[in-house]
Amino acid sequence: METKNIMIVGVGGQGTLLTSRILGGITRKAGYDVKISEVHGMAQRGGSVVTYVRYGDKVAEPIVEEGQADVLIAFERLEALRYAHFLKKDGVMIVNDLRMDPMPVSIGAAQYPENIIENLKKKHQVISLDAQALAKEIGNARVFNTIIIGVAAKRMDFAKEDWLKVIEETVPQKTIEINTRAFEAGYALG
Amino acid sequence: MSKEVAGTTVVMLGNAAIARGAYEAGVKVSAAYPGTPSTEISENLVKYKDELYSEWSPNEKVATEVAIGASISGVRALVSMKHVGVNVASDPLYTISYSGVNGGLVLVAADDPGIYSSQNEQDSRMVARAAMVPVIEPSDSEEARMFIKRAFELSEQYDTPIMFRTTTRLAHSQGVVHLEERQQIPDKPYEKNIAKNVMMPGNAIKRHLVVEERLKKMAADAATLDINKVEYNDTKIGVITSGIPYQYVKEVLPNASVLKLGLVHPLPKTLIEEFASRVDTLYIVEELEPVIEEQVKSWGIKCIGKEIFTVQGEYSANMLRRAILKEEPVIEEAAQVPARPPILCPGCPHRSVYSVLKKLKIHASGDIGCYTLGAVAPLSVVDTTVCMGASISNLHGMEKAKGKDYIKNWVAVIGDSTFLHTGVNSLMNMVYNQATGTVIILDNSTTGMTGHQDHAATGKTLMGDTTYMINIYKLCKAMGIEHVYEVDAFDIEGLEKLIKEETQREEVSVIITKSQCALLKTFVPKGKCVVDVEKCKKCGLCMVSGCPAMHKGANGEAVIDETMCNGCGLCMKNCKFGAISLVPNQK
């Protein structure tokens, strides 16, 4: 199989690393070679973070480059826009409809772009959702990323049972139940 | 979590694979000081604490010496650090190269091309060459596991410490790894050998000859070494490479001939000569400095390297496509968007201390840690950052250059972990040399930036044991400093008064600001801050300290994100109109 490229972008502290672990688990369960590249250290302190997941028969390069992503998962609108050019022509973008002002915007040195999702939709295939609000309904705002994984799962070729199994194996014991519900909610949307 | 059982296949971070390989190699002692991108090695190794010992040492020099001691006693020992840590460790490294080892000794040096989380972009292979230490470099997680086992074997075979060089991309990429059993390596007997182990002039001069011979022998043997691999394909293009760049080469030139070096120092000259003679055009693809290239060129071999490749940042497949194939990948233009630089977290005690320094217009001689982010707008408090511990000695140098009055609107700021790393020496120097100066130790009870590791003043070891907690206050007092204070980092009134007084005092003063890092598992937020929109005058004073949980609403009013707020109350204290209040968390 030709190597598939997934990117997860967001703001340091939003849980991109947990998401990449789940994606690593599902691709491995299917027997693929997989490489995942992450950002640790300083950027995790509220900076722009990106995680690359590549899977296929044999993966060499651990990063996804511009114009190569099949799926781009963005946990925040501005980050979706920042990395939009990484998407393939027929790639799909899943965007959490959340605004988090970066410091240059907070202090008035820059403007947060208007109508990001509308503009992205003009060029790309975009699925947007307010995952935070959904997560709150489910009972914990922090599981928003598992909802997004659920949405993404609909666009990928792995069995639902396998996703649930991997989530069970990956998230902390106490949060399996709520993460499972979050995944189901996202899957229903996707 | 995946179960790490021999015979199974798992997806592992490069650093976890290094730890696994070291475990499988029978390592018995590991020491390290946390540093991105090396930290996870020790954190993963300690999972096997029933079968080995792993510690956080106060700095890389101490860690290296601990590993050297373990090696001399006859067991396999690992020490790991980031590239700049190698500078701190270079004193013992240069000399243990002369003595050699008893049990295998491997030093992991984690370079950071692209400077994701460092103060420079130095290439550790240069240090290894200067120290005459062989270097092994893996190109993915599985090689990390396998090659570090070879590193221990080669260390013992050639009686030398080995540098195991990684980069951020390897350290923080996950890949598929096949787990094996731990080797049962018997301890080597210790035999007293003064000529080998006591490096005084008469012995060292003889050992220098041994080291030169050792490198020559290794270079000759390297031609057939299993971790140096030749892949002959189409011979129009030949590439010599190692580490992560190998993956980019395979992506872009799947049909080229490749000489992939696992041992990058010393180089296998005969193998390289043969490879070069069989390909039409030879490229050398290595991130950072032209370490391989300069040697190959010095042998009169024609090759292309840094003429077309940069010495800065990380490489990528697209970069090689442009440089080698002259192909311009069709890429949509990136959107022009505001940058999102890293910042101090909501509830971070450093922000509180910096807000006071900013108000008092005091300059800060800075150091390495999360609090370096105090240099970022809107705080912009930190004036300088050089290396671990330098804040205090830099301040001292300024005072000696410009006098006691000059230093009265300066302070040094340093974290608790960094203070214990090397800051303590600098403070001793201030006392000894009768300095004037105020040192603020930002004590958040952890090594923050690297992901919350314990240190000598937290009362807990890497092995998970409760231990003696070094008291920083008493330590400063014991040096003879009369004016040492402990103050709550969020007591901004008390802090302001203290800083005003102490910066005017013509003595050494230490102010220890205490408050837990808001990301620690044991941190309990006091509540959440909320804005009373009726009272908000939209003056923006609450936002001057740059809390990421705050932003201006549609009408210019202050808005606090309830999911991000950690309830530190700094915005509330800075509001002159009582528009912000703290709603305590329900018990």
Give the minimum alpha-carbon distance from B348 to chain A in angstroms, rounded to a whole number.
11
CB-CB neighbors (< 8 A) of B37 in chain A: 40-41
Half-sphere exposure of B229 (CA within 13 A, CB side): 14
Model confidence, pTM: 0.96
Nearest residue, CB atoms, A36 vs list B173, B330, B378: B173
Out of A21-25, B69-73, B482-486, B535-539, pick the least confident: A21-25
Question: Does any CB of chain A come closer than 8 Å to the CB of residue B450?
Answer: yes
Range(s) for CATH 3.40.50.920 in chain B? 229-324
**Other Cβ atoms closer than 10 A to A1:** 11
The Cα–Cα gap between B283 and B246 comes to: 12
Name which CATH class applies to B349-514.
alpha beta
For domain B9-186+195-224, give the fold: Rossmann fold (3.40.50)
- What does chain A come to in residues? 190
**Cβ pair A66:B377 closer than 8 A:** no
Residue B358, C-beta contacts closer than 8 angstroms, at least 6 positions apart = B379, B380, B381, B544, B545
Over pLDDT 90: what percentage of chain B? Answer: 96
Q: Answer yes or no: are the C-beta atoms of A19 and A186 closer than 8 Å.
A: no
Largest Cα span, chain A: 49
Q: Which of A45, A59, A112 sits opposite B338 (nearest CB)?
A: A112
Q: What is the DSSP string of B165-199?
A: EEEHHHHTEEEEEE--PPP--PPPPP---HHHH--
Cβ atoms of B22 and B410 closer than 8 Å: no
A28, A63, A98, best to mutate vs chain B, most B CBs in 10 Å: A63
Interface probe for A, chosen from B176, B337, B528 (most Cβ of A below 10 Å), is B337
Task: For B42-81, write each residue's pLDDT tens digit.
Answer: 999 999 999 999 999 999 999 999 999 999 999 999 999 9
Q: What is the DSSP letter of A33?
A: E
What ipTM was estimated for this complex? 0.93
In whole angstroms, what is the distance from residue B305 CA to residue B290 CA? Answer: 7
> Residue A189 has which token pair?
């949307």
- Model confidence at A39, in pLDDT bands (50, 70, 90)? confident
**CATH class of the domain defined by A4-105+113-189:** alpha beta
Instruction: Tell me the pLDDT tens digit for each residue of B490-531.
Output: 999 999 999 999 999 999 999 999 999 999 999 999 999 999
Class of domain B229-324: alpha beta
Beta bridge partners of B552: B558
In chain B, ranges of CATH 3.30.70.20 domains: 527-584
B369: alpha, beta or left? (left if phi > 0; alpha if psi -120 to 50): left
B63 vs B53: CA distance, rounded Å: 13
Domain boundaries, given as residue ranges, for chain A: 4-105+113-189
Q: What is the pLDDT of residue B3?
A: 57
* Chain region(s) in chain B for CATH 3.40.50.970: 9-186+195-224, 349-514
First to last CA, chain A: 24
> Domain B527-584 carries which CATH code?
3.30.70.20
Q: At CA A15, angle to CA B568 and CA A186, rounded to 5?
A: 120
For A115-171, how does the pLDDT look when each residue is reduced to its tens digit (9 = 90+)?
Answer: 999 999 999 999 999 999 999 999 998 899 999 999 999 989 899 999 999 999 999
Q: In this predicted structure, what is the pLDDT of residue B356? A: 97
CA–CA dist B81, B86 (Å, integer): 7
**In a mutagenesis test of the A interface, which of B43, B340, B557 is the best target, namely the one with the most A β-carbons within 10 Å?**
B340
